[in-house]
Structure 1
C-alpha cells in the first residue's frame, strides 16, 4: 500500500493543556516525508505559540512510533527537513515547551532521533529503538550520532550506530534514555499523565528550565553558562506566572497559571 499524501499526515488533539501530536501514516509505519515534516513543524509552532498549552506528546498511529525517513521519498530527492526546525520539523529546534515521546512498536532511524529530540520518553515494553541508517549506507544525521553518546556510554552508542542493531525499551530504560516503560498500548496515556504532572509547576519556569538544559551543551565553560542562562531565566522570573506563584504561596492556595 502506498504511503499517504493526504492533508492529515499529522493529527493534533488537545487534552486540556496538553497537545497530542500523532504522525498519521500507519500504512508506511509513520515514515516521514517533506510534507509530514512540514506538518510536524506546524504542530510544534502551535505548541509554542498557544499560551494555554503547557506540554506536548508526540506519538504514531497504528501501533508504530516511526520507521524514520520515507526512503522512497528520499530516493526521489525529497528531504524531510524544514527551514526553521530542521529534520522532521523538530530535530534542530524542538519546541520551547516540554515534549514527550509516547512510543509503541518501532522508533528507528529518524524515529529514534525524534525521540532523542524530545525531553522525556515513555515507551511500551515491546518497543524497539535503533539507528539502522548504515544498513543502507546512510548516516544518522538527524542528531542521533551526537545526542545518543551524551545519554549512553560511548561504546554502547558506537555499537548501536555502527551495527544498526535494535534494542528494546528495557535496555534504554536501564541506561536512562527512556523515562518510563509501560505495558503495550499504554504509552500515550502514560505520557499524557506525565505531561499533566508537569502542570503543577509554573509553565514559564518549566520552559526556561528546559531551554537552559537544551542550550547548555553548546556552552563551552561554566563562566559562559552563568551569563547565557540569565536572559532565559529572566523571562520566567519577570512573568505573570512568577507573580502568581508568589501570591499563591503567600495566600496558601493553589496557583492559577496562565503560561506567560
Structure 2
C-alpha cells in the first residue's frame, strides 16, 4: 500500500513499516494512522504478533516531524487512538509487539520503540533523547525508560541528550539483541513466528499483570495478580487443559485462545 506505512500480513504476524523519507519522522496524521493500525491488530482474532520497523538503512524514526511543526502542527495535535505513534497509549494491547530498530532511533522514535515489548537493533543503530538540547520534555520516555534500564542510567541519558549505541543499549537491557542489518528482520520474523505459535491467553495475562502491578509492593502484587480477569480467564480456559493434555501426550499444543 502507498502512504507513510507499509503493512503486510504474514500468517498471524502483522508487519508495519514506517516509510516517510528521509528520516521516518512522524506527523499527527501518521500517528493517527498508526493508532488505527495497531487498534485493528489488537482487536483482530487472526493476528497474534506485530513487528514495527522503519524503511531504509539509516533511520528507524527521528521522532516528531519538525517540518510539520514548522508548518503549524502543534505538539498538542490529536495523535489518535493510540497516542503518540499509535502505540504508546493504546489500552489493553495484550499481544506481543516486536520493534526492529533498523537505524537511528531518537526522540519520539525511541518513545515509540519503548512501547514495544521486545526491541531488536541493527549493529549500526543508535539511540538518543536530544530534547534536552531544545528545552523540550521527553515526557513519555521519562516514564517508560526507567522501567527498562537502571534509573541512574536513564537519568544521565535524558539529562545529557547523548547517543547510546546498540551494544550499550543491549548491555543495559534496553535492547534484547543486536544483529547485522541483514539479519534484523529475519530474526524479528523468527521470534514473531515463535510467539504467534504460543498461547495467546498467557501472553495477555503476562502483559496485564506487568501493567497493573508495576507500582505495587511484591507480596501485594502476587495476591492482586491472581484476581485479574485475564489471569482467571487463563486459569479456567480450554487452553489450560489443552496444555496439560499435550504435555502428557507428548505432542504440540493446539491453542485456541478460549
> TM-score under structure 2 normalisation?
0.89
Q: Residue 165 of structure 1: CA displacement?
A: 0.9
**1:97 is aligned to 2:92:** no
Matches of 2:37 and 2:256, distance apart in 1 = 20
Matched, 1:69 2:64: yes
Deviation at 1:225, TM superposition (A): 5.4
Counterpart in the other structure of 1:57: 51
Q: Report the counterpart of residue 47 of structure 1 in structure 2.
A: 41
Instruction: Count residues with an aligned counterpart.
Output: 253
Q: Once structures 1 and 2 are overlaid, which stretch shifts more, 175-184 or 155-164? A: 155-164
Q: Does 1:21 find its partner at 2:19?
A: no
**Cα deviations across residues 140-180 of structure 1 (Å, max 9, x unaligned)?**
12x21122122222332122112211111100101111001
1:1-260 to 2 correspondences below 5 Å: 8-25=3-20, 27-63=21-57, 64-75=59-70, 76-79=72-75, 81-93=78-90, 95-141=93-139, 143-219=140-216, 222-223=219-220, 226-230=223-227, 231-260=229-258
Q: Report the Cα distance in structure 1 between the residues aligned to 2:257 and 2:131, rounded to whole angstroms.
A: 40
| 8 Å contact from structure 1 (residues 52, 258) kept in 2 | no
Root-mean-square deviation (Å): 2.2
Query: Is 2:87–2:112's contact at 8 Å kept on the other side of the alignment?
Result: yes
CA 1:102–1:60: 2 relative to 1, 3 Å = same
Name the CA shift for 1:52/1:239 in 2 (closer, same or farther; >3 Å).
farther
Counterparts of 1:216 and 1:227, CA distance in 2 = 8
Q: Conserved in 2, the CA contact under 8 Å of 1:122 and 1:187?
A: yes
SS in 2 for 1:85: coil
TM-score normalised according to structure 1 size: 0.88
| Aligned equivalents of 1:175, 1:154: Cα separation in 2 | 11
Contact 1:107 1:127 in 2 (8 A): yes
